Homo-oligomer: A and B are copies of this chain.
Protein backbone atom coordinates (compact mmCIF):
# COMPACT_ATOMS: atom_id res chain seq x y z
CA UNK A 1 0.00 0.00 0.00
CA UNK A 2 2.30 2.68 -1.33
CA UNK A 3 0.98 6.20 -1.60
CA UNK A 4 0.53 7.49 -5.12
CA UNK A 5 -1.81 10.32 -4.34
CA UNK A 6 -4.36 11.22 -6.98
CA UNK A 7 -5.02 14.83 -7.78
CA UNK A 8 -8.82 15.13 -7.50
CA UNK A 9 -8.72 17.42 -10.53
CA UNK A 10 -7.52 14.45 -12.57
CA UNK A 11 -10.57 12.38 -11.75
CA UNK A 12 -13.17 12.32 -14.46
CA UNK A 13 -16.23 13.25 -12.47
CA UNK A 14 -18.62 11.94 -15.13
CA UNK A 15 -17.66 8.36 -14.23
CA UNK A 16 -17.74 7.91 -10.46
CA UNK A 17 -14.38 7.02 -8.90
CA UNK A 18 -13.79 3.33 -8.18
CA UNK A 19 -13.04 1.98 -4.71
CA UNK A 20 -9.36 1.96 -5.58
CA UNK A 21 -9.47 5.60 -6.68
CA UNK A 22 -11.10 6.46 -3.37
CA UNK A 23 -8.35 4.78 -1.37
CA UNK A 24 -5.71 6.69 -3.30
CA UNK A 25 -7.62 9.93 -2.90
CA UNK A 26 -8.23 9.56 0.83
CA UNK A 27 -4.70 10.22 2.07
CA UNK A 28 -2.24 12.88 0.96
CA UNK A 29 1.41 12.23 0.30
CA UNK A 30 2.04 12.79 4.01
CA UNK A 31 -0.50 10.08 4.97
CA UNK A 32 -2.81 12.67 6.50
CA UNK A 33 -6.44 12.79 5.32
CA UNK A 34 -6.95 14.92 2.22
CA UNK A 35 -9.20 17.94 2.65
CA UNK A 36 -10.88 16.94 -0.66
CA UNK A 37 -11.80 13.56 0.74
CA UNK A 38 -13.38 15.15 3.81
CA UNK A 39 -15.26 17.43 1.41
CA UNK A 40 -16.59 14.38 -0.47
CA UNK A 41 -17.85 12.89 2.79
CA UNK A 42 -19.59 16.13 3.70
CA UNK A 43 -21.18 16.34 0.22
CA UNK A 44 -22.45 12.77 0.39
CA UNK A 45 -23.87 13.39 3.87
CA UNK A 46 -25.57 16.58 2.67
CA UNK A 47 -27.20 14.66 -0.17
CA UNK A 48 -28.16 11.83 2.23
CA UNK A 49 -26.31 9.43 -0.08
CA UNK A 50 -25.86 6.51 2.34
CA UNK A 51 -24.49 4.19 -0.35
CA UNK A 52 -21.76 6.66 -1.20
CA UNK A 53 -20.93 7.36 2.44
CA UNK A 54 -20.47 3.67 3.06
CA UNK A 55 -18.10 3.41 0.06
CA UNK A 56 -16.08 6.34 1.36
CA UNK A 57 -15.80 4.86 4.85
CA UNK A 58 -14.81 1.47 3.47
CA UNK A 59 -11.86 3.09 1.70
CA UNK A 60 -10.34 4.07 5.05
CA UNK A 61 -8.15 2.33 7.63
CA UNK A 62 -9.83 2.41 11.09
CA UNK A 63 -7.21 4.94 12.27
CA UNK A 64 -8.21 7.19 9.37
CA UNK A 65 -11.92 6.79 10.11
CA UNK A 66 -11.15 8.01 13.63
CA UNK A 67 -9.18 10.90 12.11
CA UNK A 68 -12.07 11.74 9.75
CA UNK A 69 -14.46 11.96 12.71
CA UNK A 70 -12.19 14.63 14.19
CA UNK A 71 -12.47 16.72 11.03
CA UNK A 72 -16.28 16.55 10.87
CA UNK A 73 -18.72 18.52 12.97
CA UNK A 74 -21.10 16.66 15.31
CA UNK A 75 -24.04 16.66 12.84
CA UNK A 76 -22.05 14.83 10.20
CA UNK A 77 -20.62 12.38 12.70
CA UNK A 78 -24.13 11.42 13.70
CA UNK A 79 -24.87 10.35 10.13
CA UNK A 80 -21.71 8.32 9.86
CA UNK A 81 -21.75 6.43 13.16
CA UNK A 82 -24.45 3.91 12.08
CA UNK A 83 -22.38 3.13 8.97
CA UNK A 84 -19.24 2.02 10.79
CA UNK A 85 -18.41 -1.59 9.94
CA UNK A 86 -18.93 -3.74 13.09
CA UNK A 87 -15.57 -5.51 12.56
CA UNK A 88 -13.74 -2.17 12.44
CA UNK A 89 -15.64 -0.64 15.37
CA UNK A 90 -13.25 -1.88 18.07
CA UNK A 91 -10.17 -0.39 16.44
CA UNK A 92 -11.94 2.86 15.52
CA UNK A 93 -13.07 3.26 19.14
CA UNK A 94 -9.58 2.82 20.52
CA UNK A 95 -8.28 5.53 18.13
CA UNK A 96 -10.92 8.19 18.80
CA UNK A 97 -10.40 11.30 20.93
CA UNK A 98 -12.25 11.09 24.24
CA UNK A 99 -15.12 13.47 23.60
CA UNK A 100 -15.88 12.07 20.14
CA UNK A 101 -15.61 8.57 21.54
CA UNK A 102 -18.28 9.34 24.11
CA UNK A 103 -20.59 10.39 21.28
CA UNK A 104 -20.01 7.14 19.39
CA UNK A 105 -20.39 5.03 22.53
CA UNK A 106 -23.80 6.52 23.20
CA UNK A 107 -24.99 5.57 19.73
CA UNK A 108 -23.88 1.93 19.79
CA UNK A 109 -25.87 -0.83 21.53
CA UNK A 110 -24.31 -2.49 24.62
CA UNK A 111 -24.36 -5.90 22.89
CA UNK A 112 -22.47 -4.58 19.83
CA UNK A 113 -20.01 -2.81 22.11
CA UNK A 114 -19.35 -5.91 24.22
CA UNK A 115 -18.65 -7.83 21.01
CA UNK A 116 -16.28 -5.18 19.68
CA UNK A 117 -14.35 -4.91 22.94
CA UNK A 118 -13.53 -8.62 22.93
CA UNK A 119 -11.32 -7.99 19.89
CA UNK A 120 -9.15 -5.47 21.74
CA UNK A 121 -6.19 -6.03 24.06
CA UNK A 122 -7.16 -5.51 27.70
CA UNK A 123 -5.51 -2.07 27.92
CA UNK A 124 -7.34 -0.68 24.90
CA UNK A 125 -10.64 -2.26 25.95
CA UNK A 126 -10.34 -0.81 29.47
CA UNK A 127 -9.62 2.59 27.97
CA UNK A 128 -12.90 2.48 26.04
CA UNK A 129 -14.93 1.14 28.98
CA UNK A 130 -13.54 3.93 31.14
CA UNK A 131 -15.39 6.42 28.91
CA UNK A 132 -18.79 4.73 29.27
CA UNK A 133 -21.48 6.13 31.52
CA UNK A 134 -22.13 4.23 34.75
CA UNK A 135 -25.25 2.24 33.74
CA UNK A 136 -24.13 1.53 30.19
CA UNK A 137 -20.80 0.31 31.52
CA UNK A 138 -22.58 -2.25 33.72
CA UNK A 139 -24.64 -3.45 30.74
CA UNK A 140 -21.62 -3.78 28.47
CA UNK A 141 -19.52 -5.62 31.06
CA UNK A 142 -22.41 -7.99 31.84
CA UNK A 143 -22.60 -8.90 28.15
CA UNK A 144 -18.91 -9.89 28.03
CA UNK A 145 -17.34 -13.31 28.77
CA UNK A 146 -15.98 -13.65 32.33
CA UNK A 147 -12.29 -13.66 31.38
CA UNK A 148 -12.46 -10.43 29.36
CA UNK A 149 -14.65 -8.71 31.94
CA UNK A 150 -12.27 -9.56 34.78
CA UNK A 151 -9.28 -8.36 32.75
CA UNK A 152 -10.97 -5.01 32.10
CA UNK A 153 -12.12 -4.58 35.70
CA UNK A 154 -8.65 -5.37 37.05
CA UNK A 155 -7.06 -2.88 34.65
CA UNK A 156 -9.51 -0.14 35.65
CA UNK A 157 -8.64 -0.75 39.30
CA UNK A 158 -5.15 0.70 38.68
CA UNK A 159 -4.70 4.44 38.85
CA UNK A 160 -4.90 6.50 35.69
CA UNK A 161 -1.58 7.21 33.92
CA UNK A 162 0.27 4.33 35.63
CA UNK A 163 1.92 1.24 34.18
CA UNK A 164 -1.09 -0.81 35.32
CA UNK A 165 -3.36 1.12 32.97
CA UNK A 166 -0.89 1.03 30.12
CA UNK A 167 -0.15 -2.69 30.24
CA UNK A 168 -2.00 -5.51 28.56
CA UNK A 169 -2.63 -8.54 30.74
CA UNK A 170 -2.15 -10.94 27.82
CA UNK A 171 1.47 -12.07 28.05
CA UNK A 172 3.54 -15.07 27.00
CA UNK A 173 5.48 -16.58 29.91
CA UNK A 174 7.39 -19.86 30.10
CA UNK A 175 9.21 -21.70 32.92
CA UNK A 176 13.00 -21.46 32.81
CA UNK A 177 13.52 -25.21 32.32
CA UNK A 178 11.61 -25.28 29.01
CA UNK A 179 13.50 -25.65 25.73
CA UNK A 180 12.99 -23.62 22.58
CA UNK A 181 11.14 -26.58 21.02
CA UNK A 182 8.75 -26.97 23.98
CA UNK A 183 7.99 -23.27 23.89
CA UNK A 184 7.27 -23.24 20.15
CA UNK A 185 4.99 -26.26 20.51
CA UNK A 186 3.17 -24.55 23.36
CA UNK A 187 2.66 -21.40 21.31
CA UNK A 188 1.26 -23.43 18.38
CA UNK A 189 -1.24 -25.14 20.70
CA UNK A 190 -2.24 -22.16 22.86
CA UNK A 191 -3.62 -20.08 19.99
CA UNK A 192 -6.21 -17.55 21.11
CA UNK A 193 -5.14 -17.31 24.75
CA UNK A 194 -1.94 -15.58 23.71
CA UNK A 195 -1.58 -11.91 22.89
CA UNK A 196 -2.41 -11.05 19.28
CA UNK A 197 1.21 -9.94 18.75
CA UNK A 198 4.20 -10.50 21.02
CA UNK A 199 7.87 -9.67 20.79
CA UNK A 200 9.36 -11.26 23.90
CA UNK A 201 8.76 -14.44 25.82
CA UNK A 202 9.17 -13.88 29.55
CA UNK A 203 11.00 -16.62 31.40
CA UNK A 204 9.58 -16.97 34.93
CA UNK A 205 10.37 -18.84 38.13
CA UNK A 206 7.78 -21.09 39.86
CA UNK A 207 6.34 -18.04 41.69
CA UNK A 208 5.75 -16.38 38.29
CA UNK A 209 8.51 -13.80 38.81
CA UNK A 210 10.35 -12.78 35.61
CA UNK A 211 13.93 -14.05 35.38
CA UNK A 212 14.60 -12.77 31.87
CA UNK A 213 13.15 -12.48 28.39
CA UNK A 214 13.84 -14.16 25.07
CA UNK A 215 13.08 -12.09 21.96
CA UNK A 216 10.86 -14.08 19.57
CA UNK A 217 13.38 -13.59 16.77
CA UNK A 218 16.05 -15.26 18.89
CA UNK A 219 13.70 -18.15 19.68
CA UNK A 220 13.19 -18.63 15.97
CA UNK A 221 16.91 -18.69 15.39
CA UNK A 222 17.89 -21.11 18.17
CA UNK A 223 18.01 -24.93 17.92
CA UNK A 224 14.94 -26.73 19.29
CA UNK A 225 16.82 -28.32 22.21
CA UNK A 226 18.33 -25.06 23.50
CA UNK A 227 17.03 -24.25 27.02
CA UNK A 228 15.26 -20.90 27.31
CA UNK A 229 17.59 -19.95 30.13
CA UNK A 230 20.44 -19.96 27.60
CA UNK A 231 18.94 -17.45 25.18
CA UNK A 232 17.20 -15.16 27.65
CA UNK A 233 18.45 -11.67 28.50
CA UNK A 234 18.02 -9.62 31.68
CA UNK A 235 14.80 -7.60 31.69
CA UNK A 236 13.86 -4.24 33.10
CA UNK A 237 10.84 -4.80 35.31
CA UNK A 238 8.19 -2.12 35.46
CA UNK A 239 6.36 -1.80 38.82
CA UNK A 240 2.61 -1.78 38.20
CA UNK A 241 2.16 1.60 39.93
CA UNK A 242 4.94 3.42 38.03
CA UNK A 243 3.91 6.72 36.43
CA UNK A 244 3.53 6.47 32.66
CA UNK A 245 6.02 9.31 32.12
CA UNK A 246 8.70 7.21 33.82
CA UNK A 247 7.71 4.16 31.81
CA UNK A 248 8.23 6.21 28.65
CA UNK A 249 11.62 7.44 29.89
CA UNK A 250 12.80 3.86 30.52
CA UNK A 251 11.60 2.60 27.12
CA UNK A 252 13.33 5.48 25.37
CA UNK A 253 16.55 5.17 27.35
CA UNK A 254 17.03 1.42 26.99
CA UNK A 255 15.36 1.11 23.57
CA UNK A 256 12.89 -1.46 24.86
CA UNK A 257 10.33 -3.16 22.63
CA UNK A 258 8.38 -4.69 25.48
CA UNK A 259 8.82 -4.99 29.24
CA UNK A 260 7.21 -7.14 31.96
CA UNK A 261 5.01 -5.42 34.52
CA UNK A 262 5.22 -6.78 38.07
CA UNK A 263 3.21 -6.51 41.28
CA UNK A 264 4.90 -5.38 44.50
CA UNK A 265 5.80 -9.02 45.29
CA UNK A 266 7.56 -9.32 41.92
CA UNK A 267 4.89 -11.48 40.27
CA UNK A 268 4.39 -10.95 36.51
CA UNK A 269 0.98 -9.37 35.85
CA UNK A 270 1.26 -8.04 32.30
CA UNK A 271 3.44 -6.38 29.70
CA UNK A 272 3.85 -2.97 28.13
CA UNK A 273 4.77 -2.77 24.46
CA UNK A 274 6.53 0.12 22.78
CA UNK A 275 3.55 1.07 20.59
CA UNK A 276 1.62 2.01 23.75
CA UNK A 277 4.59 4.09 24.87
CA UNK A 278 4.77 6.07 21.61
CA UNK A 279 1.37 7.54 22.45
CA UNK A 280 2.52 8.45 25.97
CA UNK A 281 5.64 10.20 24.70
CA UNK A 282 3.56 12.28 22.27
CA UNK A 283 1.09 13.13 25.02
CA UNK A 284 3.67 14.08 27.63
CA UNK A 285 5.69 16.39 25.40
CA UNK A 286 2.52 18.03 24.06
CA UNK A 287 1.41 18.62 27.64
CA UNK A 288 4.71 20.31 28.47
CA UNK A 289 4.53 22.53 25.40
CA UNK A 290 0.96 23.61 26.11
CA UNK A 291 1.66 24.08 29.83
CA UNK A 292 4.54 26.42 28.98
CA UNK A 293 2.13 28.47 26.88
CA UNK A 294 -0.33 28.57 29.81
CA UNK A 295 -3.07 26.56 28.16
CA UNK A 296 -4.54 23.09 28.53
CA UNK A 297 -5.65 21.15 25.48
CA UNK A 298 -9.41 21.44 25.35
CA UNK A 299 -9.53 18.53 22.91
CA UNK A 300 -9.90 18.43 19.19
CA UNK A 301 -13.64 18.71 19.21
CA UNK A 302 -13.98 21.22 22.05
CA UNK A 303 -16.82 23.69 21.85
CA UNK A 304 -16.10 27.42 21.90
CA UNK A 305 -16.88 27.46 25.60
CA UNK A 306 -14.58 24.51 26.21
CA UNK A 307 -11.83 26.66 24.74
CA UNK A 308 -12.84 29.66 26.82
CA UNK A 309 -12.64 27.55 29.97
CA UNK A 310 -9.25 26.06 29.04
CA UNK A 311 -7.67 29.52 28.73
CA UNK A 312 -9.52 31.92 30.98
CA UNK A 313 -7.84 30.96 34.26
CA UNK A 314 -4.37 31.75 32.92
CA UNK A 315 -5.48 35.02 31.37
CA UNK A 316 -6.98 36.13 34.67
CA UNK A 317 -3.86 35.05 36.58
CA UNK A 318 -1.78 36.99 34.07
CA UNK A 319 -4.03 40.02 34.61
CA UNK A 320 -3.45 39.81 38.35
CA UNK A 321 0.34 39.36 38.21
CA UNK A 322 0.63 42.09 35.60
CA UNK A 323 -1.37 44.45 37.79
CA UNK A 324 1.19 43.84 40.51
CA UNK A 325 4.05 44.31 38.02
CA UNK A 326 2.81 47.71 36.85
CA UNK A 327 2.72 48.90 40.43
CA UNK A 328 6.40 49.55 39.80
CA UNK A 329 5.33 52.08 37.19
CA UNK A 330 2.66 53.60 39.40
CA UNK A 331 5.30 54.31 42.06
CA UNK A 332 7.44 56.25 39.58
CA UNK A 333 4.63 58.13 37.79
CA UNK A 334 6.32 61.46 38.45
CA UNK A 335 9.46 60.34 36.63
CA UNK A 336 7.40 59.43 33.57
CA UNK A 337 5.57 62.74 33.65
CA UNK A 338 9.00 64.42 33.59
CA UNK A 339 10.30 62.30 30.71
CA UNK A 340 7.70 60.51 28.59
CA UNK A 341 10.46 58.74 26.64
CA UNK A 342 10.72 56.40 29.65
CA UNK A 343 7.18 55.16 28.96
CA UNK A 344 8.20 54.47 25.38
CA UNK A 345 11.41 52.57 26.18
CA UNK A 346 10.33 50.69 29.30
CA UNK A 347 8.23 48.06 27.45
CA UNK A 348 11.25 47.15 25.31
CA UNK A 349 13.28 46.30 28.40
CA UNK A 350 10.43 44.19 29.78
CA UNK A 351 9.75 42.40 26.53
CA UNK A 352 13.36 41.47 25.73
CA UNK A 353 13.80 40.33 29.34
CA UNK A 354 10.66 38.21 29.09
CA UNK A 355 11.94 36.67 25.89
CA UNK A 356 15.30 35.80 27.49
CA UNK A 357 13.50 34.28 30.48
CA UNK A 358 11.25 32.17 28.27
CA UNK A 359 14.28 30.86 26.37
CA UNK A 360 16.06 29.70 29.53
CA UNK A 361 12.81 28.34 30.92
CA UNK A 362 12.03 26.21 27.87
CA UNK A 363 15.54 24.74 27.83
CA UNK A 364 15.39 24.00 31.57
CA UNK A 365 11.95 22.37 31.36
CA UNK A 366 13.13 20.19 28.49
CA UNK A 367 16.29 19.18 30.35
CA UNK A 368 14.30 18.32 33.48
CA UNK A 369 11.81 16.23 31.49
CA UNK A 370 14.60 14.24 29.87
CA UNK A 371 16.42 13.93 33.22
CA UNK A 372 19.44 15.79 31.84
CA UNK A 373 19.32 18.30 34.67
CA UNK A 374 19.50 17.26 38.31
CA UNK A 375 21.42 17.91 41.50
CA UNK A 376 24.58 16.48 39.90
CA UNK A 377 24.94 19.26 37.35
CA UNK A 378 22.52 21.99 38.50
CA UNK A 379 25.28 24.25 39.85
CA UNK A 380 27.30 24.05 36.64
CA UNK A 381 24.24 24.71 34.48
CA UNK A 382 23.11 27.65 36.60
CA UNK A 383 26.54 29.30 36.29
CA UNK A 384 26.52 28.73 32.56
CA UNK A 385 23.08 30.34 32.24
CA UNK A 386 24.10 33.32 34.34
CA UNK A 387 27.26 33.81 32.28
CA UNK A 388 25.30 33.60 29.04
CA UNK A 389 22.73 36.01 30.49
CA UNK A 390 25.37 38.62 31.24
CA UNK A 391 27.01 38.32 27.83
CA UNK A 392 23.69 38.48 25.97
CA UNK A 393 22.58 41.32 28.22
CA UNK A 394 25.64 43.40 27.38
CA UNK A 395 25.37 42.78 23.64
CA UNK A 396 21.66 43.62 23.46
CA UNK A 397 22.11 46.60 25.79
CA UNK A 398 24.80 48.10 23.55
CA UNK A 399 22.50 47.71 20.53
CA UNK A 400 19.60 49.30 22.35
CA UNK A 401 21.76 52.07 23.79
CA UNK A 402 22.92 52.93 20.28
CA UNK A 403 19.30 53.08 19.09
CA UNK A 404 18.38 55.39 21.97
CA UNK A 405 21.25 57.74 21.17
CA UNK A 406 20.13 57.73 17.54
CA UNK A 407 16.46 58.50 18.29
CA UNK A 408 16.76 60.69 21.42
CA UNK A 409 20.33 62.10 21.28
CA UNK A 410 20.49 61.50 25.02
CA UNK A 411 23.52 59.60 26.37
CA UNK A 412 22.23 59.35 29.88
CA UNK A 413 18.92 57.96 28.73
CA UNK A 414 20.84 55.38 26.66
CA UNK A 415 22.91 54.44 29.71
CA UNK A 416 19.75 54.14 31.81
CA UNK A 417 17.95 51.71 29.52
CA UNK A 418 21.18 49.84 28.73
CA UNK A 419 21.87 49.16 32.40
CA UNK A 420 18.23 48.25 33.00
CA UNK A 421 18.34 45.81 30.10
CA UNK A 422 21.50 44.08 31.39
CA UNK A 423 19.90 43.77 34.83
CA UNK A 424 16.67 42.40 33.43
CA UNK A 425 18.26 39.82 31.13
CA UNK A 426 20.43 38.66 34.02
CA UNK A 427 17.38 38.32 36.26
CA UNK A 428 15.58 36.48 33.45
CA UNK A 429 18.43 33.94 33.35
CA UNK A 430 18.31 33.46 37.14
CA UNK A 431 14.54 33.05 37.15
CA UNK A 432 14.43 30.93 34.00
CA UNK A 433 16.60 28.28 35.59
CA UNK A 434 15.73 28.58 39.30
CA UNK A 435 11.93 28.70 38.98
CA UNK A 436 11.58 25.33 37.19
CA UNK A 437 14.22 23.77 39.47
CA UNK A 438 12.36 24.98 42.56
CA UNK A 439 9.01 23.72 41.24
CA UNK A 440 10.56 20.33 40.47
CA UNK A 441 12.09 20.11 43.93
CA UNK A 442 8.71 21.00 45.46
CA UNK A 443 7.26 18.03 43.61
CA UNK A 444 5.36 20.20 41.08
CA UNK A 445 5.40 19.95 37.30
CA UNK A 446 8.00 22.55 36.25
CA UNK A 447 6.20 23.16 32.93
CA UNK A 448 3.02 24.31 34.62
CA UNK A 449 2.89 27.86 35.98
CA UNK A 450 6.59 28.64 35.58
CA UNK A 451 5.96 30.90 32.59
CA UNK A 452 3.53 33.05 34.55
CA UNK A 453 6.21 33.52 37.22
CA UNK A 454 8.89 34.43 34.71
CA UNK A 455 6.62 36.89 32.88
CA UNK A 456 5.78 38.60 36.14
CA UNK A 457 9.42 38.71 37.18
CA UNK A 458 10.76 40.20 33.95
CA UNK A 459 7.92 42.70 33.55
CA UNK A 460 8.20 43.93 37.10
CA UNK A 461 11.99 44.11 37.00
CA UNK A 462 11.94 45.70 33.56
CA UNK A 463 9.73 48.57 34.71
CA UNK A 464 11.45 48.93 38.07
CA UNK A 465 14.98 48.89 36.66
CA UNK A 466 14.30 51.53 34.00
CA UNK A 467 12.48 53.88 36.34
CA UNK A 468 14.69 53.43 39.41
CA UNK A 469 17.90 53.92 37.42
CA UNK A 470 16.30 56.93 35.72
CA UNK A 471 15.43 58.40 39.12
CA UNK A 472 19.04 57.91 40.24
CA UNK A 473 21.12 59.07 37.31
CA UNK A 474 18.82 60.84 34.86
CA UNK A 475 16.29 63.08 36.51
Contact = CB atoms under 8 A, between A and B. Distances in A.
Nearest to A94: B255
Interface stretch (A5-13, A134-142, A276-284): A276-284
Nearest to A212: B1
Interface of A: 1-2, 30-35, 38-39, 61, 63-64, 67, 70-71, 73, 184, 187-188, 191, 194-195, 197-199, 215-223, 234-237, 239, 246, 249-257, 262, 266, 274-275, 277-279, 281-282, 285-286, 288-290, 292-295, 297-298, 300, 302-305, 307-308, 311-312, 314-316, 318-319, 322-323, 325-326, 329-330, 333, 336-337, 340-341, 343-348, 350-352, 355-356, 358-359, 361-363, 365-367, 370-372, 374-377, 380, 384-385, 387-388, 391-392, 395-396, 399-400, 403, 425, 455, 459, 463
Contacts of A295: 358-359, 362-363
Nearest to A188: B221
B223 A220 contact: no
Contact of A363 (B220, B285, B297, B325): B297
A325 B347 contact: yes
13 contacts: A30-B371, A197-B217, A257-B274, A282-B370, A302-B384, A311-B388, A315-B352, A316-B395, A319-B396, A325-B351, A329-B343, A329-B344, A337-B340
A-B residue pairs, 4 tightest by C-beta: A293-B362, A35-B375, A285-B285, A38-B376
Contacts of A63: 253-255
A464 to B, nearest CB: 12
| Chain A facing B: main interface SS | helix
A395 B312 contact: yes
Given A197-B217, A216-B216, A290-B366, A251 B237 contact: no
User: Which of A67, A298, A374, A387 lies at the interface centre, i.e. has the most chain B CB atoms within 10 A of its CB?
Assistant: A374
Nearest to A452: B355
A236 B1 contact: yes
B278 A363 contact: no
B352 A344 contact: no
Contacts of A348: 319, 322-323, 326
Contacts of A234: 1
A343 B339 CA distance: 12
B199 A351 contact: no
Contact of A1 (B235, B288, B336, B380): B235
A183 to B, nearest CB: 9
A319 B221 CA distance: 63
A282 B278 CA distance: 9
B380 A351 contact: no
B315 A254 contact: no
Contacts of A250: 31
B275 A257 contact: yes
A388 B312 CA distance: 10
Nearest to A369: B286
Contact of A2 (B187, B237, B297): B237
A392 B289 contact: no
Contact of A318 (B266, B355, B384, B388): B355
A246 B388 contact: no
Contact of A340 (B254, B262, B303, B336): B336
Contacts of A388: 304-305, 307-308, 311
A351 B312 contact: no
A333 B326 contact: no
A57 to B, nearest CB: 16
Given A1-B237, A199-B199, A355-B318, A347 B326 contact: yes
A68 B241 CA distance: 27
B380 A73 contact: yes
Q: Which of A256, A274, A455 has the most CB of B within 10 A?
A: A274
Given A220-B216, A293-B361, A362-B290, A311 B246 contact: no
Given A35-B375, A330-B344, A246 B289 contact: no
Nearest to A61: B254
A154 B22 CA distance: 37
B292 A293 contact: yes
Task: Determine which residue in A239, A255, A330 has the highest number of CB atoms from chain B within 10 A of its CB, and name it.
Answer: A255
Given A315-B356, A355-B314, A396-B316, A387 B289 contact: no
